Amino acid sequence: MSETPIAEPLSQPVRIALPPAAPTVTHVIIGVTVFVYLLQLASAAIFGYAVYQIGWLEYFGARINDAIRAGQVWRLITPVFLHGSVAHIFFNMYALFSIGSFLERHFGHRRFALLYFLAAFSGNVLSFLLTDGYSVGASTAVFGLAAAQGIFFYHNRELFGGQAKQAISNAVFIIVVNLFIGLTPGIDNWGHMGGLLGGAMFAWFASPRWEVAGISPNLYLHDQREFREVVLGAGVVVVIFGGLAFWGML
192 is catalytic: yes
* 169 CB-near residues (< 8 Å, 6+ apart): none
For the chain, what percentages of helix, strand and coil (3-state, to nearest 5) are there? 70, 10, 20
Catalytically annotated residue among 192, 207, 216, 222? 192
* 188 CB-near residues (< 8 Å, 6+ apart): 127, 131, 135, 137, 139, 182
Give the per-residue SS3 of 33-69: HHHHHHHHHHHHHHHCCCECCECHHHHHHCEEHHHHH
| Cα dihedral: 184, 114, 97, 78 (round 10) | -50
Alpha carbon 134 to chain centroid, angstroms: 20
Catalytically annotated residue among 106, 139, 155, 207? 139
Q: Reduce the DSSP state of residue 224 to 3 states and report it.
A: coil
The set of catalytic residues is: 139, 192
